[in-house]
């Protein structure tokens, strides 16, 4: 991982009328990392991400994306980021190949649909319609759409919510692979086990403020250093391990 931040946010504020949803937060995302934005509902995660994605106006503060100033170069920023599209945009009567052709046209890039489907392990669904996919396959396709413009950074909003354990693990592998191929990944999740395994660093945001930012490991060590101990004795496995061990690792949906 290189040292240069690919995203730099300074004193970001967002007011909705009288209400301050984001209260002057500052953080950096390093080039080539999986960065998790964690926090309870209403903490300000979506607001923060949508400002960086150029989809929402900020009240004040500075945002730099790959050295580009959000105030001066929003169009240039749009070109180097990948955002998950609303599934409502996945026209019901088009198959996956046709949908990718459509998006490629919108983005004016030259990506081969089959090569893209290969990346997310969906080649055998190339002629299937979006509505015919399983939950995990829908998420993989949605992630594929973020890669269409060959972005430097992708934003994934709760990509594994509602998936079964095999499909979640399969998606973690895909997200790590995208990171390993050089794309920075920003992800939101409510699953702390997922954040611990997947994220290189996380920021915890609460009531519009960042209350912690570090690697998962160091955050845990910091808590342990305060004398914190789990009430229950930790077993060597958990119920998810039982589920995976009994049902196997293979994806069922394919």
Residues that bind ligand ADP (CB under 6 A): 16, 21, 39, 41-47
Say how far apart CA 97 and CA 113 lie, in whole Å: 6
Q: Environment class of residue 98 by beta-carbon count within 10 Å: exposed (0-12), middle (13-18) or buried (19+)? A: middle
The long-range contacts involving 242-251, CB below 8 angstroms and separated by at least 24 positions, are 243/165, 244/165, 244/166, 244/169, 247/165, 247/166, 248/166, 249/166, 249/169, 250/166, 251/136, 251/166, 251/167, 251/170
Longest dimension (CA), the chain: 58
The distance of closest approach from Cβ of residue 188 to ligand ADP in the complex, given in angstroms and rounded to an integer, is 7
| Helix/strand/coil for 230 | coil
Alpha helices by DSSP H, listed for 81-128, are: 96-107, 113-119
The distance of closest approach from Cβ of residue 52 to ligand ADP in the complex, given in angstroms and rounded to an integer, is 12
The distance of closest approach from Cβ of residue 252 to ligand ADP in the complex, given in angstroms and rounded to an integer, is 31
The distance of closest approach from Cβ of residue 42 to ligand ADP in the complex, given in angstroms and rounded to an integer, is 4
Q: Which is nearer to ligand ADP, 23 or 119 (CB)?
A: 23
Q: Which is nearer to ligand ADP, 174 or 213 (CB)?
A: 213
How many other β-carbons are positioned within 10 Å of the β-carbon of residue 59? 14
User: Is 43 within 8 Å of 36 (Cβ atoms)?
Assistant: no
Q: Which is nearer to ligand ADP, 41 or 86 (CB)?
A: 41
The distance of closest approach from Cβ of residue 40 to ligand ADP in the complex, given in angstroms and rounded to an integer, is 7
β-bridge partners, 27: 9
Q: Which is nearer to ligand ADP, 117 or 187 (CB)?
A: 187
Looking at residue 128, the DSSP 8-state letter turns out to be S
| Helix/strand/coil for 172 | helix
Q: Which is nearer to ligand ADP, 64 or 203 (CB)?
A: 203
The distance of closest approach from Cβ of residue 212 to ligand ADP in the complex, given in angstroms and rounded to an integer, is 15
Alpha helices by DSSP H, listed for the chain, are: 45-52, 74-80, 96-107, 113-119, 135-146, 165-180, 192-198, 216-225, 239-247
Q: Which is nearer to ligand ADP, 139 or 188 (CB)?
A: 188
The distance of closest approach from Cβ of residue 76 to ligand ADP in the complex, given in angstroms and rounded to an integer, is 25
Q: Which is nearer to ligand ADP, 29 or 148 (CB)?
A: 29
């Amino acid at each position: 991982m290189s040292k240069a931040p690919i995203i730099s946010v300074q004193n970001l504020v967002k007011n909705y009328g009288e209400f301050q949803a984001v209260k002057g937060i500052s953080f950096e995302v390093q080039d080539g990392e999986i960065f998790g934005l964690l926090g309870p509902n209403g903490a300000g995660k979506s607001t923060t991400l949508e400002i960086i994605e150029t989809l929402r106006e900020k009240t004040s503060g500075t945002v730099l994306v790959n050295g580009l100033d959000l105030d001066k170069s929003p169009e240039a920023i749009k070109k180097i980021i990948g955002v998950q599209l609303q599934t409502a945009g996945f026209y019901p009567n088009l198959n996956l190949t046709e949908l990718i052709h459509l998006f490629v046209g919108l983005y004016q890039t030259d990506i081969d649909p089959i090569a893209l489907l290969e990346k997310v392990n969906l080649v055998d669904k190339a002629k299937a319609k979006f509505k015919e996919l399983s939950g995990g396959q829908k998420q993989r396709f949605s992630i594929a759409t973020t890669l269409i413009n060959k972005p430097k950074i992708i934003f994934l909003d709760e990509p594994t919510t509602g998936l079964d354990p095999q499909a979640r693990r399969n998606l973690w592998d895909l997200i790590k692979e995208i990171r390993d191929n050089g794309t920075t990944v920003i992800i939101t999740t409510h699953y702390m086990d997922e954040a611990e395994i997947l994220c290189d660093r996380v920021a915890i945001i609460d009531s519009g403020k960042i209350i912690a930012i570090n690697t998962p490991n160091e955050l845990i060590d910091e808590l342990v250093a305060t004398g914190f101990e789990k009430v229950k004795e930790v077993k060597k496995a958990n119920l998810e391990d039982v589920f995976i061990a009994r049902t196997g690792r293979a994806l069922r949906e394919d």
